[in-house]
Amino acid sequence: MTGKDTHKNMATIYDVSVLAGVSLATVSRVMNNNTKVSDKTKQKVLDAMASLGYKPNTIAQSLASNCSNSVGVLVSQLDGPFYGPMMTQIETSLRVENKHVIIAAGHSDEVQEKEGVDFLISRGCDALILDVEAVSDEYLITLSNGDTPIVLINRYIEAIKERCVYLENEQGGYMATDYMLSLGHKNIAYISGPMYKLDARDRLRGHQRALAEHNVLFDPELWFEGNFREFGGIDAMQHLLTLNKPISAVVCASDQMASGAISVCLEHGIRVPEDISFIGYDNIPFPTYISPKLNTISNPIHEMGKMAALWVLKEVYKDKKVSVESCFSPQLFIRGSACPPK
Amino acid sequence: MTGKDTHKNMATIYDVSVLAGVSLATVSRVMNNNTKVSDKTKQKVLDAMASLGYKPNTIAQSLASNCSNSVGVLVSQLDGPFYGPMMTQIETSLRVENKHVIIAAGHSDEVQEKEGVDFLISRGCDALILDVEAVSDEYLITLSNGDTPIVLINRYIEAIKERCVYLENEQGGYMATDYMLSLGHKNIAYISGPMYKLDARDRLRGHQRALAEHNVLFDPELWFEGNFREFGGIDAMQHLLTLNKPISAVVCASDQMASGAISVCLEHGIRVPEDISFIGYDNIPFPTYISPKLNTISNPIHEMGKMAALWVLKEVYKDKKVSVESCFSPQLFIRGSACPPK
DNA sequence: AGGTTTTATGTAAGCGCTTACATAAAAACT
DNA sequence: AGTTTTTATGTAAGCGCTTACATAAAACCT
């Protein structure tokens, strides 16, 4: 081997066939065991493989079989509290079936999201799991008619609903506000996500429905459009405090915004929950360990990741065993960040 | 196309060559532009590609060139606060060079980490970026002699130090405790990571060095071996409080443990920092927004991710442009979780 | 002009598999 | 036993590229 030669000198199917005294096809057959091979020959082949330490070349398999056994996952952000748990589930679910995960980040930008999709498709992915927010519904509908199957996480598009794994966000929005109302709050501010996102709109709708059911008027002044991130919550709270309106509770469309908002209150000497009650959304891990422990609505993003993976296993790799569920219900978690108003 | 036919009916290099009126080899040459092709033919080929919407089949390229353009990344946990920022950097750095990232999780378990490595190698990765903690140094040294180049994040092994990207943990440990000492604290508890991890041992060593330099005796009773996670901090703090020893400051080897420990204090009515000062380690995003804002030592995990990616680009893909740096220095961040003792 | 070097392009042999088709052997019939 | 069906294995043609080698054309010599 010369210095330049970095070839991996692995045994090939040919070496196995020679050692086992059978043809290439037979070796391939025992690998894929989709065709009957007599027990005797099968054993010879397995022995040969073992003694050569044979590992199939997955690239060659992919080329010959036109199936790459890889699934592309495109998410908005690789960091942040959501992606990790979701990826864990996706990776685990797929790896047991020997599929692998190729990742790309879309950074909530339309161009980058499209580039990510193109990249993953050009990489020969057998399917795509997408958690995207900047591209349009039309784009996704068109994409779903292409050669590479897609499944969407956290997005609901009527025309391709069988490919969507989503949370009932309206219901979650309702639950959060309903909880505050049932504690007796009337002066409830709402920090929403950005309105161009469906989940933000749905949560807001739920909030409004709860108010209406309790005959509380929705005051647009008490609604601030945030960005789902901590800084959005900070900006929102600072703004709300300048209003000089009585506010006894703040419902936030994300835990991160709630954290930001709470930090502003604490800095102003406002006690949580004694002076203002809070509830977040998403049930991300961190705030549990911080005081006050944040009430929240669960967003089972990890389960949605798992379901998306199972969808791929079922629809693309024709795994009969799995059954998939696409609509998830939120759940209320009561901890220490809310109490009845004074 | 029959119902069963899921073939992607893409143009191949052959189609391009026919349309452009040149040979396969020429088309390949303009794609890889490593051999001179006359401007005229090159243009014909590019036009043909464009009009056919040609996209090279990366699987075939990989098989023929024995280079998969993919880099395997194996981390302990896909969730948690570290992985995201690290992955973001790795993905971004590699994608601009059109390399892709295949992920696997090791779950801090020796068997699973080794399986992950085998999995990624069998997937034909050109290189592996490993952030592993359960496998032994010997295993990694052996692995590094194999066919697939590896680079280690967050681990220092003398024998293969040129493949290690790491943080000067001893120095960080020193800085944290030195800071508390310089505020005037003498009764300093230390919540460490698990001792089987090198970084935990190094941080502890730094802590001890700082104490020694300030002539403060290291009291083993004030040292609790945690697990780097929130619950470890909770257990540690509960234990420390039962000691009935005066403690005016707690140095934690991770922000997550600091969060857990602080939450225990707050539950006991102990004020932070007035009664007990805290400092964490890692500078993870969340606690910044929570009160008290956590002092900490930075762990530039994202930069280390980037460096690992650049290492691969340089050493494996022979990219001349990049230069890599392997040793990172921690930095002290002072926020609101510490003050001088009463 | 004839010879030599350089440059651009073509030819064809793989890369390591899968799989349709062919064939030989065994099993199941009359 | 002879014929048909079933089953196990082999043969060989790809999958879509890369690249060593061959060759034709152009450019440079003296």
Lowest mean pLDDT among A13-17, A289-293, B59-63: A289-293
Say which residue the tokens 């059954």 belong to: A323
Provide, as residue numbers in chain B, all residues whose Cβ is less than 8 Å from the Cβ of A148: 8
Nucleotide nearest to B61 (CA to C1'): D17
SS (H, E, C) chain A: CCCCCCCCCCCCHHHHHHHHCCCHHHHHHHHHCCCCCCHHHHHHHHHHHHHHCCCCCHHHHHHHHCCCCEEEEEECCCCCCCHHHHHHHHHHHHHCCCCEEEEEECCCCHHHHHHHHHHHHHCCCCEEEEECCCCCHHHHHHHHCCCCCEEEECCCCHHHHHHEEEECHHHHHHHHHHHHHHHCCCCEEEEECCCCCHHHHHHHHHHHHHHHHCCCCCCHHHEEECCCCHHHHHHHHHHHHHCCCCCCEEEECCHHHHHHHHHHHHHCCCCCCCCCEEECCECCCHHHHCCCCCCEEECCHHHHHHHHHHHHHHHCCCCCCCCCCCEECCCEECCCCCCCCC
pLDDT at A288: 55
pLDDT at A8: 52
Q: Which of B260, B268, B264, B267 is nearest to B227 (CA)?
A: B260
Asked if A151 and A163 count as a contact pair (C-beta separation under 8 A), the reply is yes
Select the more confidently predicted residue: B79 or A48: A48
Beta bridge mates, B153: B165
Distance A17 CA to D6 C1' (A): 25
Nearest to A290 among B78, B101, B259 (CB): B259
The answer to whether the Cβ–Cβ distance between B124 and A59 falls below 8 Å is yes
Check residue A337 and give its pLDDT: 92
B77 to chain A: which residues are within 8 Å by CB? 84, 88
Residue nearest to nucleotide C19 (CA to C1'): A25
User: pLDDT of A290-332, one tens digit each?
Assistant: 667 899 999 999 999 999 999 999 999 988 778 888 899 999 9
Looking at the DSSP bridge assignments, the partners of residue A73 are A103, A129
Tell me what percent of the residues of chain A surpass a pLDDT of 70.
Answer: 96
CB B104 within 8 A of CB B116: yes
Check CB contact under 8 Å for B124 and A57: yes
Residues of A in contact with B91 (CB under 8 A): 78, 103-105
pLDDT, one tens digit per residue, over A110-154 is 999 999 999 899 888 999 999 998 899 999 999 999 989 999 999
User: pLDDT grade, residue A6 (50/70/90)?
Assistant: very low
Closest CA relative to residue B90, chosen from B108, B74, B105: B74
User: Is A100–B119 a contact, with Cβ atoms under 8 angstroms apart?
Assistant: yes
**pLDDT for the residue numbered B7:** 40
Tokens representing A126 are 């057998």
What average pLDDT does chain B have?
A: 91
Give the model's pLDDT for residue B3.
Answer: 29
Query: Chain A: nearest CA to B207, how far in angstroms?
Result: 25
Three-state DSSP class for residue B153? strand
Q: Which residues of A touch B68 (CB under 8 A)?
A: 59
Cis peptide before B273 (omega within 30 of 0): yes
> What CA–CA distances, in Å, run from B221 to A286, B217, B308?
29, 11, 39
User: Which nucleotides on strand C sit less than 7 A from a protein beta carbon?
Assistant: 7-20
CB–CB contact A103 B104 (8 Å): no
| Residue B268 three-state SS | coil
Residue with tokens 């199917």: A13
How far is the alpha carbon of B338 from chain A, nearest alpha carbon, in Å? 16
CA dihedral A279, A280, A284, A285 (to 10 degrees): -30
- Give pLDDT tens digits for A170-197: 999 999 999 999 999 999 999 999 998 8
| Tokens (6 digits) for B61 | 């390229």
Q: Which of B122, B235, B253, B64 is nearest to B177 (CA)?
A: B253
Q: pLDDT higher for B234 or A324?
A: B234
Strand C–CB A58 distance below 7 A: no
CB A247 within 8 A of CB A272: no
Query: Does residue B324 have a pLDDT over 90?
Result: no
The Cα–Cα gap between A76 and B200 comes to 33
Rounded average pLDDT over B92-100: 91
CB contact under 8 A, B91 and A105: yes
**CB atoms A102 and B105 under 8 Å:** no
| DSSP 8-state secondary structure symbol assigned to residue B298 | B
Residue range A74-106, pLDDT digits in tens: 998 888 788 889 999 999 999 998 899 999 999
Whether pLDDT at B6 is above 50: no
DSSP reduced 3-state for B227: coil
Cα separation of A199 and A177, whole Å?
Answer: 16
In this structure, the number of other CB atoms found within 10 A of the CB of residue A285 comes to 17
What's the Cα-to-Cα distance from A194 to each of A199, A226, A227, A229, A257, rounded to whole Å? 9, 6, 5, 10, 12
Give yes or no for residue A7 having a pLDDT over 70: no
Chain A: closest CA distance from residue B309 (Å): 15
Contact B63 A68 (CB under 8 A): no
Checking DSSP bridges between strand B223-225 and strand B249-252, what pairing results, if any? unpaired
> How many A×B Cβ pairs under 8 Å?
146
CB within 8 Å: B78 and A84: yes
Q: Name the minimum distance, in Å, from the CA of A232 to any CA of chain B.
A: 12
* A40 CB-to-strand D distance under 7 Å: yes
Shortest CA gap B118–chain A (Å): 10
Which of B71, B121, B289, B302 is the mutation pick for testing A, counting most A CBs within 10 A?
B289
Cβ neighbours of residue A273 under 8 Å, at least 6 residues apart?
A: A292, A336, A337, A338, A339
What is the band of B243 on the pLDDT scale with cuts at 50, 70, 90? very high
- Supply the pLDDT for residue A289: 54
- Does any strand D atom come closer than 7 Å to the Cβ of B25? yes
CA-to-C1' distance for A41 and C25, Å? 15
